[in-house]
Chain A
């Protein structure tokens, strides 16, 4: 199952796949950030893949880079896939996938709010959990808690 998903992605976007692995039986694909929206469209619209449910968008601060992790499920077959993109820590930017799954809107806002990742073409990118005038991104490892 994972092989056919990987093949479909590689067929559609030959240079996008940087690395693959399997964690707990789920295919994890490290992607080139520029190919993200295209691959997501493919995953959602291709009938054999049909990943209709975006479960989670998270970001991890690995000190030398920020990794954004996307988790999708096909509700009918319960197939799962995880996409990962590495972003530059000084200016983390990636395209928004709201055009593919509307559920990404709030999740991306949260990642922007707490980790500082900017999502290009997001319809309403502003802070969601912290006050509008908050400075800094608390979930980063170098965040200093103000008094």
Chain B
């Protein structure tokens, strides 16, 4: 059977036997491909960024669903936490607990100035200066609020990071 479109255009980490329909790969790489293509996000919408990042990005024009991303209301079923909005000192312990409730592997995207570093409210008495003070963040999206396209770009960056992690795992030592 002839393959009319080369597969390695999409997956740079899948080997294929020339002219044939057989792919060889590793379990890690396939798992990673599955993970990145269906990032179920735990929408942690706190403030204004929630409207742009979660509602607008998930809805009519910018459709996150086409990337396989689905909104889950519970941390137990999600692998990506999108922190969208200001993290206040009252909310911070809950953010940490919800992050801990997610199962591995888990990723965090901090969207907007408030989640990145406190934002326009950084000098307030009640605001945490960035969510990375309590949980590890993988991708930061600047903006106030960032455009939905910026979130989509951030998701692509995250996927690159995930691929990079797999590549590092399989890289020969001393390369």
Contacts and interface: CB of A to CB of B under 8 A. Distances in A.
B174 interface: no
A130 to B, nearest CB: 7
A145 B125 contact: yes
Contacts of B126: 130, 138
Interface in A116-147: 130-131, 138, 143, 145-146
Interface residues of B, number: 4
A131 B90 contact: yes
B89 A131 contact: yes
B90 A138 contact: no
Nearest to B91: A131
A130 B124 CA distance: 13
B90 A146 contact: no
A102 B126 CA distance: 28
Contacts, number: 9
Dominant secondary structure of chain A at its interface with chain B? loop
A138 B126 CA distance: 9
B25 to A, nearest CB: 50
Contacts of B89: 131
Contact of B90 (A130, A143, A145): A130
Interface in A66-108: none
Contacts of A138: 125-126
Contacts of A130: 90, 126
Contacts of A143: 125
A131 B90 CA distance: 6
Nearest to B126: A130
Interface string B16-60: 000000000000000000000000000000000000000000000
Given A138-B125, A146-B125, 7 more contacts: A130-B90, A130-B126, A131-B89, A131-B90, A138-B126, A143-B125, A145-B125
Interface of B: 89-90, 125-126
Shortest Cβ-Cβ A-B pairs, 6 listed: A145-B125, A131-B90, A138-B125, A130-B126, A131-B89, A130-B90
9 contacts: A130-B90, A130-B126, A131-B89, A131-B90, A138-B125, A138-B126, A143-B125, A145-B125, A146-B125
